[in-house]
A and B are shown apart, each in its own frame.
Chain A
Amino acid sequence: MSLLSVRGLTIRFGDQTAVDNMDLDLEPGRMLALVGESGSGKSLTALSFLDLLPDAAKWSAESMNLGGENLLNLNDKQKRSLRGGRIGMIFQEPLTALNPLHNVEKQISEGLFLHQGMSQTQARERCKELLRQVELPDSMDMLQRYPHQLSGGQRQRVMIAMALANNPQILIADEPTTALDVTVQETILNLIKRLQDELGLSILLISHDLGVVGRFADDILVMHRGRQVESGPTKDVLANPRDPYTRHLLDSEPAGQMPALATDSPMLLEASDIEVGFKTKRTHLFKPAPVFRAVDRISLALRKGETLGIVGESGSGKSTLALAILRLIGSTGSITLDGHPLHGLSQGQLRPWRRRMQVVFQDPFGSLNPRMTIGQIIAEGLAVHEPTLAKAQREQRVAELLQEVDLPTETRNRYPHEFSGGQRQRIAIARALILKPDLLILDEPTSALDRSVQYQILELLKSLQQRHGLSYLFISHDLKVIRAICHRVMVMKDGKVVEQGDVQTIFDHPAEAYTRKLISAALA
């Protein structure tokens, strides 16, 4: 007898069907993973149990039972007792899900006052107990903290404590670790798993990442475009995927390694002792403001046709390093491109060098100007570096580039908002490549994309590298991606290099404890 059972759930926005005739069964004490790419309707499905769908959504279901009780004809009061009472929920981004003006105690005890009518002292005791359960210190200091004083992992733990406050039967975790670093991700998922065993919770884990899910969930339900594609025990689904879409998802996990680089490949980029400091707030009126070193004496070298991966958790300074190499922010040290030093050049002197190193950013929505057509966006570099080029030639080049990144050439007259994340990233790559650069800096180019799209972009990058002998500086927090695409890897932490070397060596025999932790979290 399943705890939560849903039959024939359909959710519509206008005439678009977001979720189509879904059946779902959550067994008591088990963890069910709802897996699918963005837009597959997995979050909507979960929200419908609590009747928290946006107003524009119209939904219906044949039946929806929680422990034998019909959820379809509850009144508002009963629905409220359900939310945060019998069903607890954890959201993806704990920074926005927590009220920034409430301290930890207030966040957690709000639900206690609401559902159990506890007194202040009772609530405080319960708060401490919950903090112990989620492995946070139960000190007054912790209770008094505000969300901005907590780390990402701590925030997510507070969220879990809030969700557990009223002893729910079901915990819905909507991408609980997507916004977190790998090592933190690991500990949070372990915590959720432990709570499941200890408290006998039923957990609905929503995730886009089959790799994570495979290790923790008991059952899997795969969704694709609002439809249920496949479901069953995790082992069966992962071992014998019956549906082609599930197989496609499994195959999209980055795998394989780059072939070794020719040993006589010439050196392209050399950077030594790069240092970027930001002035922090003055602590003393007459003393100079302390300097925060985002990048602390980093040296790296990149040969032609080589990919150097830079791995690190958020705040490790890897993006700052990229901006420093691009000479977009001030830095000390020396950078040479093809033997020519780039420090000490004015913006004008730097311009001819700019075309040889280009950049692709993470966010495919922020990196294209929404008010320019794709053609204008891609051709912009030509206007700067080849202003004499005739219009027809320029269009010709744009068309070639679009073909190269596998987009139809007609797209050049359209605007960015008409494209999906993966297509936008292709456009960003085309813009970077139109100047025929030698070095492409890729700052988390696939992090905002679904696994299968990520896979396509990585394949595209590999083939472009082979065709044009490009060198990549590939920044990522995702070790699987790094292993699949890089020749060498550099691990960063707090602005410093922890370790660097060949991908093979680093992944098989990491020398440093930090690297080992990262690798075991990501590839377990």
Chain B
Amino acid sequence: MGFPLNNPFKNNPVWARQWQAFRSNRRGYWSLWIFLTLFVLSLGAELVANEKPLLLSYDGDLYVPVFNTYPETTFGGFFESEANYRDPVVADLINEKGWMIWPPVRFSYNTINYDLQVPAPAPPSSENWLGTDDQGRDILAGLIYGFRISVLFGLMLTVLSSIVGIIVGAVQGYYGGKLDLFGQRFIEIWSSMPTLFLIIIISSFVIPSFWTLLVIMLLFSWMTLVDLVRAEFLRCRNMDYVRSAKAMGVRSPMIMFRHMLPNAMVATLTFLPFILNSAVVTLTSLDFIGFGLPPDAPSLGRLVGQGKANLHAPWIGISVFATLTIMLTLLVYIGEAIRDAFDTRKFLQ
């Protein structure tokens, strides 16, 4: 179509007013910024918490171990395998002829600290800021990587299930009739399945990975938005501007996209933070009971499990608990602010 698909949100006074309303909710506004900062930082987790130096100089040459793999022999060692920079022997070899810049946390999520002075789990110290778990792995590094994978998983699940939900809801609401009737009955049956058990059963014969888990959970999470979007479309389909567009011969997908979707977006955007929240919680609980991400993946759920198994090491449980609480609370605050911003009663007065 040669029609400019102008961004419906740009320069729209309605949206401008809603952004104002969002900003005026200070708590939600600051929550958004804090959450975005944490998320961006965690995206660069490898630069924040890693067992490899960010940059090193050896014999006048610069090396970037974070991104490249160098065998130990490069630095005058014996083995052909990748250099273990935490090994005092390797570190001495490098420091003799150069220097190393380390990230703030010198552990990755799966780095085992063999130099602990006390038996694992070790309490917080200047080396392991939040202590270690019972394998000697750094808690802080685990939290950073776990936060990243949780949020990424949650975001992807939210986006995918929103797309599916909006399309299904839109089609049902727009066409109505038998399609709507059977769609609704199907959703009623499908949504009454015990989701968690099904995921446990499925993951017992499919080896769970990030992507398979995403697909399995998508099978059951796309229904949240259907009812909302469907109701909005049912309301809009009889609006005169939709009728006018039909009388003009505008194609149905275009009517749905241009005339009806913006109305449904209000309900959708309001719901997004809460969907994200529930996705994170579901992933964490699956990891906690051991049916989630593969064992070598960083995960908040497994850290919760560590905390439960090691009640004598309260720093594990408290750290994970605090992380989860902060993350979920921020999301709820953001959600509340968005809901306020879209509350028509507030800005139409």
Contact = CB atoms under 8 A, between A and B. Distances in A.
Contacts of A371: 8, 12, 14, 262-263
Nearest to B249: A354
A385 interface: yes
Contacts of B243: 323, 328, 359, 361, 367
A358 B249 contact: no
Contact of B13 (A358, A361, A415): A415
A518 interface: no
A415 B248 contact: no
B2 A358 contact: no
A381 B14 contact: no
Interface size class of A (residues with CB under 8 A): 35 or more
A326 B247 contact: yes
Interface stretch (A173-181, A252-260, A387-395): A387-395
B179 interface: no
A175 B1 CA distance: 48
A368 interface: yes
A244 interface: no
B4 A359 contact: no
A32 interface: no
Given A363-B240, A428-B244, A389 B2 contact: yes
Contacts of A370: 14
A369 to B, nearest CB: 5
Which of A368, A370, A380 has most chain B Cβ within 10 Å? A380
B249 A350 contact: yes
Contacts of B258: 369, 372
A366 B263 CA distance: 13
A381 B250 CA distance: 7
A367 B242 CA distance: 8
Interface string A349-384: 011001101110111001111111000110111111
Nearest to B252: A347
Contacts of A368: 241
B8 A372 contact: yes
A355 B249 contact: yes
A435 interface: yes
A345 B326 CA distance: 60
B6 A376 contact: yes
Given A326-B247, A372-B8, A389-B2, A366 B14 contact: no
B239 interface: yes
B234 to A, nearest CB: 15
B247 A387 contact: no
Nearest to A326: B247
B338 to A, nearest CB: 18
Contact of B241 (A351, A362, A367): A367
Chain B binding surface, main DSSP class: helix
A387 B1 contact: yes
Interface string A405-433: 00000000001000000000000100110
Contact of B240 (A366, A376, A379): A366
Contacts of A389: 2
B2 A383 contact: yes
A304 to B, nearest CB: 20
Which of B239, B246, B249, B251 has most chain A Cβ within 10 Å? B249
B3 interface: yes
B241 A358 contact: no
A435 B258 CA distance: 20
Contacts of B247: 326, 328, 354, 357-359
Interface residues of B, number: 25
A213 to B, nearest CB: 31
A128 B314 CA distance: 78
Which of A350, A381, A388, A432 has most chain B Cβ within 10 Å? A381
B8 A383 contact: no
Contact of B3 (A355, A366, A377, A383): A383
A372 to B, nearest CB: 7
Given A351-B249, A415-B14, A361 B244 contact: yes
Given A359-B243, A367-B241, A371-B12, A381 B248 contact: yes
A369 B241 contact: yes
Nearest to A432: B244
Interface string B230-246: 00000000011101111
B339 interface: no
A362 B6 CA distance: 28
B342 to A, nearest CB: 13
Nearest to B250: A384
Contacts of B8: 371-372
A381 B255 CA distance: 12
B240 A361 contact: yes
Nearest to A367: B240
B23 interface: no
Contacts of A431: 244, 248
A384 B244 contact: no
Contacts of B6: 376
A52 to B, nearest CB: 19
B259 interface: yes
Contacts of A367: 239-241, 243-244
Interface of A: 323, 326, 328, 350-351, 354-355, 357-359, 361-363, 366-372, 376-377, 379-385, 387-389, 391, 415, 428, 431-432, 435
Given A366-B241, A371-B12, 7 more contacts: A361-B240, A367-B239, A371-B8, A372-B258, A379-B3, A432-B244, A435-B248
16 contacts: A323-B243, A354-B247, A357-B247, A359-B243, A359-B244, A362-B240, A367-B243, A367-B244, A369-B241, A369-B259, A372-B8, A380-B245, A383-B1, A383-B3, A391-B4, A431-B248
Across chains A and B, which 9 residue pairs bring their CB atoms closest together, nearest first?
Answer: A383-B3, A354-B249, A367-B240, A361-B240, A351-B249, A387-B2, A369-B241, A371-B262, A381-B248
Interface of B: 1-4, 6, 8, 12-14, 239-241, 243-251, 258-259, 262-263
